[in-house]
Amino acid sequence: MSTNAPGSDDVQSRTVNLDVPGMDCPSCAEKIVNSVSKLDGVVAVEPQVMTGIVHVKFLPEKVEVDAVVERVQAAGYDVESRDDFQTERFDVPTMDCASCAGKIENALDGVKGIIERETLPTTGTVIVTYDPAHTSRGDLVAAIESAGYEVDETGPDLAEGDLVEESRARDVWLSPRALKTWIGGGLLLAGLVLEFLLSGLDVTLLALLGREFGTAELLYFAGAVISGEEILRNGYYSARTRSLDIDLLMSLGILGAITASVVFGEALYLEAGMLAVLFSVAELMEEYAMDRARSSLRELVDLSPTTATVRRDGEETTVPVEELRVGDHVIVRPGDRIPADGTVVEGESAVNQAPITGESVPVDKTDGDEVYAGTINEEGYLEVEVTAEAEDSTLARIIELVEDAQRDKTEHEQFVDRFAGQYTPVVVTLAVLTAAVPPLLIDGNVSLGIAGQSLVFVGDWATWFKRGLALLVLSCPCALVISTPVSVVSGITSAAKNGVLIKGGTHLESVGTVKAVAFDKTGTLTYGELTVTDVVPTGGESRESVLSVAASLEARSEHPIAEAIVEAADKEGAETSDVSTFESLTGKGVRADLDGETYFAGKPALFEELGLSLDTVRVASDGGIAVEDDSSNETAAAGGETIEELQADGKTVILVGTEKQIVGIVAVADEVRPEAKRTVGRLHDLGVERVVMLTGDNEVTARAVGEAAGVDDVRAELLPEEKAETVAALDEEFGGVMMIGDGVNDAPALVAATVGVAMGAAGTDTAVESADIALMGDELSKLPYLYALSGKANGVIRENIWASIGVKALLAVGVPFGLVNVAVAVVIGDMGMSLGVTTNALRLARIKPDRFE
């Protein structure tokens, strides 16, 4: 229920969230909407009865929050609290490391009115919650830009062509910084040619401060200035925001080399130029690598079309997806992406749901079927009634959760943050000491023999200054800091594209560490729907006649078993007849007259009461395992042995007959998913020690299903709280357990588990919200994929962390001995490692789900 003011300017609007606990019914909500809507300047009123929250969007230049609160009170409801803070998300594509994020955070901390700020460098996103009474969006943009970063103002109203052009304009290798880098590199190369190959042309061009400057030196200087312009600019912003980061350190290194050359005559122009060019190349490589990592998330965003063809007032018109309203009818032609979540009201077609559920085969859709935004209409015409606005669609929720997944820092990230916080100051201090102390202590050259090698330590300032520069380069922990988040984002986005929604890096890491897996039975290992598995005719009857009589009797019943029998008769084309004097025999079955004779359909106990001896042991069951029907049973006699065998398989047995004879047996069961056993087997192969099935069903049915699924243990007749207790016990025994259920009925067990996984969550808000991980489709094959992905992600993260630390340490040890210079430090220690950890993380996208045919 909402109201909208036509022609209002949403760009300038604000939203206040009012806590109104007394609003507990649609009637209350309607009164509040009517009262608040009378205010001039109110854009929309959206009450949520279930939460007692009223969202009011309004124009602050026309109405104040206090006036809105007064209108709610005028409707007879108290407002306990109000939250009129506003949250903005900014796209800052050049923020691609923790150093960048630190500068932006420092700049934002100087803005009054900010309640909370968050920087996500892996996705280039800045999220700020602020009080509009003290600051504005413009102030926040200005603060971010004051740190040296541009805010991308792209919005949904940009045409697709504009987005393509903008993407091209942002090409890393053709960007303004890249062009400056190439020019600077060319000048350095020209200087090297003059100095070493064409030395005769290296003439003095300038005399300054009593020194002569040759052509090569001026080329080095020009290369340093041109390539280093962005570095020096960023270094200025770092100093301004009091951020000790790589930009500031490199700026000090370049300026120090130039100063030492001009003032002290140390001739370090080449080192200054190399530092500027190589570090700029390293930054470009890092930006390129990060852009590759972000591309997987952009692919998710690109799944949603920007426009939709909607039928309004009998006419078709094209509108932006953001303008679709619940109840609109959208036209989806062959090859089109479905623009919004909705229900098919006309037409039929196969829909490719892989972008949402990861299903490999298109799903047939017809009247009444649910479809999701971002899925693809393969062949037929569909008319879809919109059931959720763009920002509330399943795809939108997936994108939002994937974007926010990096907020929850994993244990690895916390370790890296602690390490990096101490690493940079220590190495910077060592760099300063390396540049300053040895020249004071070493007089002339000192030789040192190590492992048969003679290392010469010289005492001149220039040599140790260069070595200090090399350590300064190695003081930046960029590769280490991005090693974990880039792996997490790569893994989570890859999983999302395969129909697995992981709601945080901690959950991605945790899955691969558990040694026990607990499955719910109904709807997880089984389909959760009863089906007819066996039809056993007797006394000369045929399979069709038994189904015909059973379906005729059960047609008036609403019991799930009755529905399964009627559905089976429809599928096999068995004709049914009208019955009279129908009577439901509670807990036993049904009775009705058919063609002038009274028939019964029900449990074996019902026929024993009628005086028919079955000589069988009866076991109550509400569903078991489904097996292929054996045609040899068609001539079997109805006896205790047949009934007992069916019940031993966990099936519900329904007898059909009269007071004098039984005409047949119908067995019904909840069918075990065909991929269940292979899924359990793959989990064992991947390292899971124990697979347990938990169910509230009876022991016989549970054992039958457990045997068919290949689980190690079966716990039956459990209440919801007992399932949770069992999961907790498994967690304590194995040091971690993953629970797979439907996300609603199994909520206590899902919460108790190390990781809770909801099956078939597409389109189900509760399932997506309640579990740590949601399988958007009903494919059990995604579980081994999830476990393998998590294990691989943990391995990649460990590789990235220790490789980053190990390479930096090895290079740092070599610096004082002259084995590592500035070029090696930049190319291997900075650029090489940043590119290496990112490329390593992208390997996670290669892991694909098993396809159980």
Per-residue b/e over 213-248, b at no fewer than 16 CB within 10 Å? Answer: bbbbbbbbbbbbbbbbbbbbebbebbbebebebbbb
Alpha-carbon distance of 4 to 410, in angstroms, equals: 42
Q: At what angle do helices 269-301 and 176-196 cross, to 10 degrees?
A: 150
Instruction: Tell me the pairing of strands 329-332 and 382-386.
Output: antiparallel
Element (H, E) at 317: strand 315-320
Residue 324 token pair: 């679709």
Per-residue 3-state assignment (H helix, E strand, C coil) for 222-234: HHHHHHHHHHHHH
Longest dimension (CA), the chain: 125
> Which H, E and C letters describe 659-674, residue by residue?
CCCEEEEEEEEEEECC
Contact 290, 835 (CB under 8 A): no
Contact between residue 99 and residue 247 where contact means Cβ atoms under 8 Å apart: yes
Q: Which residues are identified as catalytic? A: 520
Beta pairing, strands 773-775 & 755-758: parallel
User: DSSP character for 406?
Assistant: G
Q: Which residues pair with 441 in a beta bridge?
A: none
Does residue 37 contact residue 48 with C-beta atoms inside 8 Å? Answer: no
DSSP H helical segments within 555-616, as ranges?
560-572, 604-609
The sheet carrying 382-386 orders its strands as 315-320, 307-312, 329-332, 382-386, 342-347, 370-371
DSSP string, 206-274: EEETTEEEEHHHHHHHHHHHHHHHHHHHHHHHHHHTT---HHHHHHHHHHHHHHHHHHH----HHHHHH
Report the C-alpha gap between 242 and 251 in whole angstroms: 14
Q: How far apart are CA 695 and CA 703, in angstroms?
A: 10
**Tokens, residue 107:** 């700049």
Helix, strand, or coil (residue 78): coil
Residue 9: Cβ-neighbour burial (10 angstroms; 0-12, 13-18, 19+): exposed
Per the CB < 8 A criterion, the answer to whether 804 and 477 are in contact is yes
Please list, in sequence order, all residues whose beta carbon lies within 8 angstroms of the beta carbon of residue 133, skipping any fewer than 6 positions away: 113
Residue closest to 841 by CA, chosen among 795, 809, 805: 795
Task: Please tell me the distance from the alpha carbon of residue 243 to that of residue 160, in angstroms, as a whole number.
Answer: 38
Backbone dihedral angles phi then psi of residue 633, each to the nearest 5 degrees: -75, -15
